[in-house]
Amino acid sequence: QVQLVESGGTSVQAGGSLRLSCAASGDTDNMNCMGWFRQAPGKEREGVAAIGSDGRTTYAGPVKGRFTISKGNAKKTLTLQMNSLKPDDTAMYYCAADSGHWCSGGYWGDPTVYAYWGQGTQVTVSS
């Protein structure tokens, strides 16, 4: 079992920056893919970024070059640095983890393959 708790969400003006954190506990040693997802009202949950156990990262097109995903030692902390924020980035942001090697393939952005989820943290970007 793995527990994930996100923090750092708040309201910010367009062009600003935020840093989201995800604290992981439990059996994190077996988590080979960790990622950030977001869900806006009326929309499906979508992958934002993911990082594998080898440290390789993957980003969704709309955030590439603006967001950076990183993880701390022992897979206990996952961070999402968000720069140049836009109103379209407004959403609930979720941390996710799974033992599968999804990060190295095309399934990294599919929420159904992740077994563990946090409760989410709200990010609101105003114009």
pLDDT recorded at residue 75: 64
Contact 55, 72 (CB under 8 A): no
Instruction: Give the per-residue pLDDT at 74.
Output: 67
Q: Is 84's pLDDT higher than 70?
A: yes
Dump pLDDT digits (tens) for 49-79: 999 999 999 999 999 999 999 998 766 899 9
Work out the average pLDDT over 39-58.
95
Q: Which of 20, 76, 27, 24 is nearest to 49 (CA)?
A: 20
Give the DSSP letter of residue 65. Answer: T
**Beta-sheet strands, E only, within the chain:** 2-7, 11-13, 18-26, 33-39, 46-52, 57-59, 67-71, 77-82, 91-98, 116-117, 121-126
φ and ψ at residue 79, rounded to 5 degrees: -125, 145
Q: How confident is the model at residue 94 (pLDDT cuts 50, 70, 90)?
A: very high
Each residue of 18-29: pLDDT tens digit?
999 999 999 888
What integer pLDDT is reported at residue 87 of this predicted model? 97
Residues 97-127 have pLDDT tens digits of 999 988 887 899 999 999 999 999 999 999 9
- Which is higher by pLDDT, 1 or 117? 117
Write down the mean pLDDT value for the chain.
95
- φ and ψ at residue 104, rounded to 5 degrees: -95, 5
CB atoms within 10 A of CB 37: 25
CA–CA separation, 15 vs 88, rounded Å? 12
